[in-house]
Amino acid sequence: MNGIVAYMKRDFLKWGRGRVAVVSSLVMPAAWLVFVGLALPVQFTGNYLDFIVPGILVMTMLTAGLSGGALLMFDKILGFLNKFLALPAPRSSILIGKILFITGRGLVQATIILAIALLIGASLLDPVQYGITYLVLFLFGVLISGFATTIALYLEDHDSYAAFNTMISMPLFFTSSALMPYSVMPGWLAMIARLNPLSYAIDAVREVTAGGFPAGAILLLLVLDAAFLAICLRVFRKVTI
Amino acid sequence: MNAIETEGLTRYYGDLCAVDNLNLSVDNEIFALLGPNGSGKTTTVLMLTTLLAPTKGRASVCGHDVQREGEKVRRALSYVPQDMAVDIKLTGRENVRFFADLYGVPHAADRVDEALAVMELTDRADDLIRTYSGGMRRRLELAQALVHEPSVLFLDEPTIGLDVAARKRIWEHIRALRRKGMTVFVTTHYMDEADQFCDRVGIISQGRIAALGTPAELKARLMKDVITARVEGPFTPPEVDGVAFVGRSGDEVSFTAGNGREALPLLADALKNNGCVVRSMALREPTLDDVFLQAVGRQEEPQGFAFDKFRIMLRRRK
């Protein structure tokens, strides 16, 4: 446990000192909120901003998770990992600490995006709803960062990982339910969107804002998290010994 | 119980044998593993620090088996790898504190201050590492390694890429640790440093120990002192105890002697008595380089460069 906290603390300190990275990671989701959320003329809802906020929050977690995937790979390439592996702290805490940091960083960014959304006119929810929203975002963040870290460790090369990141981030976003409800999608898109894990998280947050409790989605995310953490731990063990 | 003990330690990468049946005991000393690039130094250290599983054989650190008692081994040692890895966006103090937390050191703040002080980094402790020189970064890594007071310290090429002054400083620190009772295991390919600062050296070549002993022993065992003299006039080889005539080329004659310093004046007298004029004499002590070359041979790759094996090796090492 000490190990996990120490690894997270290191990453948060480093992140906080890179001011450009902190701001730049917020630009894209904020731009979506303002330029799409406020400007897109849609017919299916009276308040498009409220409709798109869950999608943008999940997108923020997605970008944070995918860009964080390279962190552990860099620790490996730069020789940090060898030092960490020779320490008595459990080796799995290196991986868990990293996934929790990436997820935590995503949640910080999502909070700022949420604040911007409220400033430009999104509806305020009650504290319990925010609590459940954060739970969903957290579970989704663990899923994405576990997935991204596994891929990066497996590819073992920064350029390949960057290419992979560019390749999947936009398609994942556009084939989710972030921008429109299933009812107005063409049939083929609706089919893909229902399978897209982003949609699970987005739909879950929408259910929360509508006053419900997305038990099914949370359970599904929990199962996926467990599965991906198990895979990630396996790959991690394989590349470290 | 020796701090480090290996028995038939062997590691293969595919069918390339990186470490071949290594038997070593190291205790309470500065031990240097010397060898050319790719001779198995780093592989040995990786196995001893539990970062790589041996293919065959066993090894223990402070009485704990590296394969079965990994955590206990890691508690007893510190490892500073070759590539300098310190977080440049953190301060010196934060970097050391990070390791103190990972080791679960009690009274961490005090221990961090102490470790920084030992490495003479107190003045710069709160500056970002970005502003540190290479030598300071290396000392910071040592401070990280010392924060939990390990019994055994593994240093992989501790002075690589540093200037002369910084190297000397690093070695002085290593000597000081040794005086406090720490066992230090270093790998290096700087012969002069091993000669000057290490208690015992093992020369490793193609995964096998080619020579083992104190630097003085190795030099004495493998080579005698070399004396050369420039002479004029009629020359007949003189008879001096412990000196052997090697040969003459032009006006230069050369000898080897068990103890060159003592043989030098005797030889000069003997030459004069034989009727030749001595213009100059030179004594060269064998260096560890000579020992190394004799033990390892010139490093010419016999059957070209095996790219496949090299690639396998690199991939495993990353």
For residue range A126-153, what is the model confidence (pLDDT) as tens digits?
Answer: 999 999 999 999 999 999 999 999 999 8
Contact B77 A86 (CB under 8 A): yes
Domain containing B147 — which CATH number?
3.40.50.300
On whether both B48 and B96 belong to a single domain, the answer is: yes
On whether both B274 and B127 belong to a single domain, the answer is: no
Q: Which of B204, B219, B234 is the last residue of a domain?
A: B219
pLDDT at B309: 58
Judged against a pLDDT cut of 90, whether residue B299 lies above it is answered with no
On whether both B247 and B214 belong to a single domain, the answer is: no
Separation in Å, CA of A188 to nearest CA in chain B: 43
In a domain, B292, yes or no: no
Cα–Cα distance between B259 and B24 in angstroms, integer?
30
On whether both B35 and B178 belong to a single domain, the answer is: yes
On whether both B87 and B200 belong to a single domain, the answer is: yes
Read off the pLDDT of each residue in B149-164 and give the average, rounded to a whole number.
Answer: 90
On whether both B52 and B96 belong to a single domain, the answer is: yes
* Structural domain count, chain B: 2
pLDDT tens digits for range B1-12: 889 999 999 999
pLDDT tens digits for range B67-99: 999 899 999 999 999 888 999 999 999 999 999
Cβ neighbours of residue B28 closer than 8 Å, sequence gap 6 or more: B3, B181, B183
Rounded (to 5) percent helix, strand, coil in chain A: 80, 0, 20
pLDDT at B318: 45
Judge if ipTM > 0.85.
yes
Q: Which two tokens stand for residue A115?
A: 């604040």
On whether both B243 and B105 belong to a single domain, the answer is: no
Cα–Cα distance between B48 and B61 in angstroms, integer?
7
Helix axis angle for A215-240 and A127-155, nearest 10°, is: 30
Judged against a pLDDT cut of 90, whether residue A121 lies above it is answered with no
On whether both B201 and B112 belong to a single domain, the answer is: yes
Judged against a pLDDT cut of 90, whether residue A111 lies above it is answered with yes
pLDDT at B306: 57
Instruction: HSE, CB side, 13 Å, CA atoms: give it for residue B123.
Output: 4
Judged against a pLDDT cut of 60, whether residue A155 lies above it is answered with yes
Closest-CA residue to B129 (of B146, B143, B149, B118): B143
pLDDT at B60: 94
pLDDT tens digits for range A55-79: 999 999 999 999 999 999 899 889 8
Hey, is the C-beta of A156 within 8 angstroms of any chain B C-beta? Answer: yes
pLDDT at B24: 93
In a domain, B312, yes or no: no
pLDDT at B162: 86
On whether both B215 and B231 belong to a single domain, the answer is: no
> What confidence tier does B122 reach under pLDDT thresholds 50, 70, 90?
very high
Q: Which two tokens stand for residue B144?
A: 């990280």
In a domain, B270, yes or no: yes
Judged against a pLDDT cut of 50, whether residue A168 lies above it is answered with yes
Judged against a pLDDT cut of 70, whether residue A241 lies above it is answered with no
Contact A89 B103 (CB under 8 A): yes
Cα–Cα distance between A52 and A38 in angstroms, integer?
10
Chain A residue nearest residue B94, CA to CA: A10
Q: Which of B174, B201, B219 is the last residue of a domain?
A: B219
Judged against a pLDDT cut of 70, whether residue B302 lies above it is answered with no
Phi then psi for A202, rounded to 5 degrees?
-65, -45
> What confidence tier does B258 reach under pLDDT thresholds 50, 70, 90?
confident
Cα–Cα distance between B209 and B97 in angstroms, integer?
38
- In this structure, the number of other CB atoms found within 10 A of the CB of residue B171 comes to 18
pLDDT at B222: 58
In a domain, B295, yes or no: no
On whether both B210 and B230 belong to a single domain, the answer is: no
Residue B240: strand, helix, or coil: coil
On whether both B234 and B213 belong to a single domain, the answer is: no
The residue among B80, B101, B130, B144 with the most chain A CBs within 10 A of its CB, best to mutate, is B101
Q: Which of residues 232-261 of B touch A (CB under 8 A)?
A: none
Closest-CA residue to B85 (of B95, B75, B94, B74): B95
pLDDT at B261: 83
> What confidence tier does B300 reach under pLDDT thresholds 50, 70, 90?
very low
Contact B81 A78 (CB under 8 A): no
Separation in Å, CA of B45 to nearest CA in chain A: 11
In a domain, B302, yes or no: no
pLDDT at B95: 95
Global pTM value: 0.82
On whether both B205 and B237 belong to a single domain, the answer is: no
pLDDT at B307: 57
Domain holding B263, by residue range, is: 224-285
